Amino acid sequence: MKRKKTKKLRQLRPYILFGVTLTAILILIVSTVGRRHELNTPQKITLDLVGRGQLILKTVSNVFTGTWGKYVALWDVREENKALRKELDTLKSVAGEYREAMATNVRLSKLLRLKDSLPPPTITAQIIGRDPSLWFRTVIIDQGRQDGVEKGMPVITAEGIVGQILDTSLNFSKVLLANDPNSAIDVIIQKNRSQGIIKGVGDAYELLYILKNADVEKGDAVVTSGMGGIFPKGLPVGTVSWVMKSKRGMFQKIKITPAADFSKLEYLIVVLKEKSLAEDTF
Amino acid sequence: MFVVTFFLLGLALLIIQTTLFSAMPDWLGRPDLLFIFIIFITVRLDIIKGALLVLMLGLIMDIFSGIFLGLYPVINLILFFIVHLLSRRFIISELPHQIPLVLGCYLFSNTMIFISTAMLAPENILPWNGKAIFFQMLLLSILTLPFFALYDFLLSLRNSPEFFRLFVRQQRGNKFRE
């Protein structure tokens, strides 16, 4: 009888051990969930180590894709060259007009003694890894604390905003992309200055808190508002692609097509720190 | 020793998935080989080694995926516990059941992520991406059998010292003395 009991207890021992471990981990996780992605020291070291592996593999794959890309690029280079020359002629004339407008702007700004600020310092980073899950939109970049990157810094491309730094290790950082549902950015509609918040919905953004009486149309440009102190003011966010004014509620339902193409991201620009030189200028 | 090897193999799969597979075109798909590996560990290894490996891989996945720390270790452990319990009563780890097992576990795992994130951040409910999940399940159903066979082969190597002799130079005695 006693032997039977001991045997049963021995059989159950791994499950009891497993249950205790699971409970301990659950307690640990529940206590850490509130702070949402603040890596501790071992996790930062792991990010550094695995990041190095990602960087090596990315460099190797870049060699192959680069060679193939160069070969493919030669296919229609003549037509492209012709089109680019045509475009260059048009842009030259446009640039002349802009130069004139810029000169007028500077003259008027001086007259009005408007405070100006120089663009903030930036750093270029390469994407070395993407989130493997179907649920989240994050990427790993090859610049970290050592390069001056800090949590919360905005990440952009030449086309528009991309996201913000979620966490950093010594040499690598994790970026939360703007099209992730957990991302929220303050924006304004350029034409009427209506302020709202964009949230990621997969491949597009959803613009929230725009009142029904605001005049919003398909094709309107949306830029960052500069509120919240994370993104500099006036960065392109995207264009309005869909507007609906439902009978109920105070706000419109608006969808935005992102200015940046998230499927083709390779190199990103991290805006390090906004430094106002207003005092030096005036 | 083989636990470390398997851990490194899991890590390599994660690196491949986050770098090479992410560069692949959408129409080709990005197979979740690490998930097949986790299910393999769940059904083939004993409870202590398996749970340890699954937990460690979950902790590392947390760093590279998502924004909620602790999500993957918990889901992996719950999955491990359920599958391990089922495998003691039913023959679910054998060849004919491997594909339904992996697909069922994948659906369960994604549902868990959806429910957990909805509870952790109710203001930002993630959209249920049924099409992408279905496509991923299709890929998994094609790749499960070959990768289970590959992992089985790797697991069998731990019992064959001949394999390790290929890498370790044998110390031969003085044959003239004999």
Which of A29, A31, A170, A171 is the best mutation test for B, with the most CBs of B within 10 A? A29
Q: Of residues B121 and A162, which shows the higher confidence score?
A: A162
Residue of B nearest to A53 (CA): B15
Q: Of residues A246 and A254, which shows the higher confidence score?
A: A254
Mean pLDDT of A100-123: 70
A265, two tokens? 């991201």
- Beta bridge partners, A199, equal A184, A206
Q: Return the CATH fold of A40-75+115-282.
A: Thrombin, subunit H (2.40.10)
The band of A279, judged by pLDDT with boundaries at 50, 70 and 90, is very low
Name residue, tokens 């590959």.
Answer: B150
Instruction: Return the number of CB contacts < 8 Å for A and B.
Output: 136
* 3-state SS, residue B6: helix
- Could you state, in order of their start, the residue ranges of all structural domains in chain B? 2-164
Q: Among residues 59-88 of chain B, which lie with CB inside 8 Å of chain A?
A: 59-71, 73-74, 77-78, 81
State pTM to two decimals.
0.78
Q: By the CB < 8 Å criterion, does B21 face chain A? A: yes
pLDDT above 70 as % of chain B:
89
pLDDT at A57 over 90: no
pLDDT above 70 as % of chain A:
85
Interval A7-48: pLDDT, tens: 777 777 777 777 777 677 667 666 655 456 677 788 888 888
Interval A63-98: pLDDT, tens: 777 777 677 777 778 788 888 888 888 888 788 778
Q: For residue B124, what is the DSSP state?
A: G
Q: Which of A28, A174, A181 lies at the smallest CB-CB distance from B124?
A: A181
Give the separation between CA A54 and CA A12, rounded to whole angstroms: 41
Interval A129-140: pLDDT, tens: 999 888 889 999
Interval A196-214: pLDDT, tens: 999 988 788 999 998 888 8
Name residue, tokens 């949306």.
Answer: A222
pLDDT the model gives residue A282: 32
Q: What average pLDDT does chain A have?
A: 81
pLDDT the model gives residue A276: 38
Mean pLDDT of A212-221: 88
Cβ <8 Å between A263 and B127: no
Q: Among residues 84-103 of chain B, which lie with CB inside 8 Å of chain A?
A: none
Mean pLDDT of A52-65: 82
pLDDT in tens, chain B (178 residues): 778 889 999 999 999 999 888 777 777 778 899 999 999 999 988 888 898 899 899 989 988 888 888 888 889 988 998 998 888 788 777 778 889 999 999 999 999 999 988 888 888 888 888 888 999 999 999 999 999 999 988 888 877 666 655 555 555 566 566 5
Q: Of residues A69 and A227, which shows the higher confidence score?
A: A227
Give the separation between CA A77 and CA A108, rounded to whole angstroms: 44
> How far is the alpha carbon of A203 from chain B, nearest alpha carbon, in Å?
11
pLDDT the model gives residue B176: 63
Maximum distance among all Cα pairs of chain A, rounded to whole angstroms = 100
* CB-CB contact of B115 with B74 (8 Å): no
Residue of B nearest to A140 (CA): B64
State whether ipTM is beyond 0.85: no
Q: What are phi and psi of B144, to 5 degrees?
A: -60, -50
Element (H, E) at B128: none
